[in-house]
Amino acid sequence: MRVLVTGADGFIGRALARVLRARGIAWKPASRSTVGEIGPETDWCTVLQGCDRIVHLANVAHARGISEARLRTVNVEGTRRLAEQSAASGVDRFVYLSSAKAATPDDGYSAAKQAAEQALACVAGLARVVLRPPLVYGPGVKANFLALLRAVDGGWPLPLASVRNRRSLVYVGNLVDAIIRCLEAPEAVARTYFVTDGEPVSTPQLVRTLASQLGRPAHLFALPTALLEAAGTLVGRNDTVRRLTRSLEVDDSAIRRELGWAPPFTFEEGIRLTCEWYRTQRTQPS
């Protein structure tokens, strides 16, 4: 088995690369320097040579200023193009990292992920596997999770004590383990799997766990959820606030039952390792 990893220089890609090396699995990265801009005209033929498995991680993340047209060009048409050329070159496993929100899209990013899944299903001869993770955290995490780490570490008062949500999460080490299982297991072909750490957690529970691992008090106080969301809308951070106040719970029993997969790390272990990494970054000079 030789694996081509797109997006190998990203948060998940770097974690996957470390585990592939540790397990002695041959792999090579695909980056903008080797294939150029990802889209409907990208030529993957050269980088596909010698590879019989693909893990497709590269995509444009949802962010301010990213148009839906660009999301579609890269995340949908770019994925379709890679899948078509992979099938033509004889690749016998294509693992696509989608999103838990692709099941019920509520923004341009999740809609593009769903459309990419549908595009893969239409590629003749493609032995595809789709993984739908919820929020992924771990060493190297960025964006909202890193912002929450900094807020808890900084002792900021957080108005989240009254939030009663349930959110599925997945530690990056668990996600990587599931990716490799899907590369290897013949039963995974043509299946779509959610993957999580296990039991969902509430936002206050997450904050308290982070605080405990960082050796900080959890400064939580209560504000009505409706008021929090209204304030988020007022300052243009509605999506960010709703991730903290609303639920996103998914069922990963299928991958556990069909592939015999179980997460190698507990939620508590994942948070501990994430906080250990964060502390090393915090103490490094800028």
Across the range 102-111, mean pLDDT stands at: 94
The answer to whether position 208 is within a domain reads no
Please determine, for residue 65, whether its predicted confidence score (pLDDT) is greater than 80: no
What is the distance between the alpha carbons of residues 62 and 140, in angstroms, rounded to a whole number? Answer: 18
The answer to whether position 187 is within a domain reads no
The pLDDT-based confidence of 286 (bands split at 50, 70, 90) is: very low
DSSP reduced 3-state for 3:
strand
Per the prediction, the chain carries an average pLDDT of 95
Please determine, for residue 8, whether its predicted confidence score (pLDDT) is greater than 90: yes
Predicted pLDDT at 284: 60
Predicted pLDDT at 66: 83
Q: What is the pLDDT of residues 246-275, one digit of tens each?
A: 999 999 999 999 999 999 999 999 999 999
Q: Shortest CA distance to 59 belongs to which of 86, 78, 83, 36? A: 78
What is the distance between the alpha carbons of residues 186 and 65, in angstroms, rounded to a whole number? Answer: 40
Predicted pLDDT at 236: 85
CB 98 within 8 A of CB 116: yes
The answer to whether position 213 is within a domain reads no
The answer to whether position 210 is within a domain reads no
Q: What is the pLDDT of residues 160-201, one digit of tens each?
A: 999 999 999 999 999 999 999 999 999 999 999 999 999 999
Active site residues: 109
Across the range 31-60, mean pLDDT stands at: 92
Report the CATH number at residue 78. Answer: 3.40.50.720
What is the distance between the alpha carbons of residues 243 and 70, in angstroms, rounded to a whole number? Answer: 23
The answer to whether position 167 is within a domain reads no
Predicted pLDDT at 75: 96
Q: Which domain holds residue 106?
A: 1-132
Please determine, for residue 238, whether its predicted confidence score (pLDDT) is greater than 80: yes
The answer to whether position 101 is within a domain reads yes
Please determine, for residue 283, whether its predicted confidence score (pLDDT) is greater than 70: no
Lowest mean per-residue pLDDT among 112-126, 162-176, 231-245? 231-245
Query: Strand ranges (DSSP E) for the chain?
Result: 2-6, 26-30, 53-56, 94-97, 128-132, 135-137, 169-171, 191-194
The answer to whether position 271 is within a domain reads no
The answer to whether position 21 is within a domain reads yes
Q: How many domains does the structure of the chain reveal?
A: 1
